[in-house]
Chain A
Amino acid sequence: MPHAMLRVHDVTIRLGGREVLCGVSLDVRPGELVALVGPNGAGKTTLLSAIAGDLEPSAGTILLDDVDVAGWRPHRAARHRAVLPQEHHLAFGFPAVEVVRMGRTPWVGTDREDDDEVVVAEAMARTDTVALAPRLFPTLSGGEKARVAFARVLAQQTALILLDEPTAALDLRHQDQVLAEAHRLSRIPAAGGASHAVVAVVHDLTIAAAYADRICVLAGGRLVADGPPGDVLTPELVEHVYDHPVDVFEHRGRLVVLPHRSHAAAPTGSAESPAPHHPIGHQEPPWICTP
């Protein structure tokens, strides 16, 4: 098993006096696509920000290639990890292609600067944004902005890629395309020799199950499950964490997580009434593994 690229060790983060993350430990190895899932406010984005070096843990350490990220200069960190944020704001009307080129900033003045044009072109081709190249970024739609931002992340060519809800604004074709690209990267070597690793916050459990090698479930600031999709995404766990009843079944060999639409009208011709809503809430479930 390859050496871990990213080690999150017993990380606690307090924001405004509240513990947003609490004793989270997690290793990510080259060649892995890890999906972070969990309900709103579970601490997914906070964990991703801490890994990116935006937030300093109140306790615990985050090692990237065996070095604590807290002490990294931005310039150095940018050669090791790229980050796709949730929101895509641009102060001035740069064309989309310029935004992708900004992803090449960490390599200015190195040998790799020579590859800029090819890397930018490939990143845009892989995200289906070539046609958007001359258009001004602020005039793009939400989904188009997200894809151009993803192209910028690809152009940065780092071994670790952090994606915060990469599929949120996308139509179903592009959702699939983005995660397929993330999955492809996790299978090919990065510039350093070892494979890429991808950590992505994903809301859609079905798409997470389809592409992720591992699913890490966060709830209430704790890591409550970590493992292959088939092991983690059990109806019991998902119902408990999201406080909502679901069905989990296989369809064409893939896991599908389907929430009960309790407020939708009952389908016509179905004798079955919607399953009653049973909050499992209070009893301590057996799968909490943090000591």
Chain B
Amino acid sequence: MTVDQTRVAPARLAPGLTLRRGSAIGSVRRTGPRAVALFVGLSVALVVMVVISAGRGQVDIPPAQVLGSIFHRVGLPWGHLPTQPYGDATLWDVRFPRIGMGLLVGGALAAAGALMQGVFGNPLAEPGVVGVSSGAAFAAAIVIVFDLGFLGTWTTPAFAFVGGLITTLVVYLLSRAGGRTEVVTLVLTGIAVNAVCGAGLAFMIFLADSSARDQIVFWQLGSLNGSRWVYTAVVSPFVLAGLVGAFWLSRRLDVLALGDRTARHVGIDVERLRLAVIVLVALLTAAAVSFAGMIGFVGLVVPHLIRMTVGPGHRVLVPASALGGALLLTCADLVARTAVSTADLPIGMLTSLVGGPFFFWLLRRSRRSAGGWA
């Protein structure tokens, strides 16, 4: 007798059990109007911020002309082209590639954070905190120092991917005990992994000549400066593959919240799922780190805020985090470019400035709610 082959009569409520419309069960829907509102809000905010950000800088272009320039590019004769000399060129050669890179990197980091938190069952997991970013950065530094280029523009992201993959696996293996990851173990593992990768990075700086040294230092700070269309073209398939994969696994990630054993009892191949997620995290982190360097805490802050608004279901959390991360980095980059005139602040510095205290607050809160360092 196998259950699978049997066609089962449609279930009906047994007599004596009544279900009122609008009862407690019916009112808790999977994707509520909140989620729809969130997606609409994030998308609108993102478009507005992109237009505003593109217009700001040494050459100021009003939003209407930014829109006009975009419309003209796609062949619609709406609005006016930028009136400034070189306005159109500035937009398309400098600002849009940079904004595009910001969207990709922000989306990748936030989605990677959401995935990592799901797979560790721990809201404090994040590529930067646990050292995956520095692992990817260390591997990428090797490419710079030894001037490797056998894969062309793809060399750096490929190395970053391998470095990220190795560090994620190491963190995962070291920080799990009895099918769970305790907060303390995770954070301490992150310190250890960060220390080792930091040492590797320091050694690379020591080996490097002065131009490579500048490049590595720029990376540790994290910046979207110098983004070009070629780079966004390399990064986007990584991010796209990562996001599609993440969305595909999202329902199974929900079930993982039950713990490894119970997740297996309801039919999840936990080991396989976890391996798939680790590959996705490495893919997304590598995409983010390759050209923009280490931008911390995006993967921590964004999924947390999304979870507070619409709950922890990954089918909403993952795509909403990607949108939110893109929005956050667009805003942060605008500040980085314009806060100090004539200077381009490192964006990693800004996100850490906000993210560090936020991380601390989360740590305090989770300690309180778990009744100790559980």
Contacts and interface: CB of A to CB of B under 8 A. Distances in A.
Given A54-B264, A74-B268, A102-B266, A89 B259 contact: yes
Interface residues of A, number: 58
B354 to A, nearest CB: 23
B11 A115 contact: yes
A94 B313 contact: yes
Contact of A102 (B27, B255, B270): B255
A191 to B, nearest CB: 5
A9 interface: no
Interface stretch (B17-25, B40-48, B133-141, B236-244): B17-25
B269 A133 contact: no
Interface stretch (A124-132, A242-250, A283-291): A124-132
B13 A122 contact: yes
A138 to B, nearest CB: 8
A204 interface: no
Interface string B245-272: 0000001101111110110111111100
Contact of A65 (B2, B12, B23): B2
A92 B257 contact: yes
B122 interface: yes
A75 B269 contact: yes
Contacts of B268: 74-75, 105
A126 B266 contact: no
B312 interface: yes
Interface in A85-117: 85, 89-95, 97-99, 102-103, 105-106, 108, 110-112, 114-115
Interface string B280-313: 0000000000000000000000000001000111
Nearest to B265: A83
Interface of B: 1-4, 6-8, 10-14, 17, 19, 23-25, 27-28, 30, 121-123, 180, 251-252, 254-259, 261-262, 264-270, 307, 311-313, 369
Which 3 residue pairs are nearest across A and B when measured between Cβ atoms? A78-B267, A91-B121, A92-B312
Given A85-B262, A111-B8, 17 more contacts: A53-B264, A54-B264, A79-B3, A83-B262, A90-B257, A90-B259, A94-B313, A97-B24, A102-B254, A102-B255, A105-B255, A105-B268, A115-B11, A125-B19, A126-B17, A159-B1, A193-B6
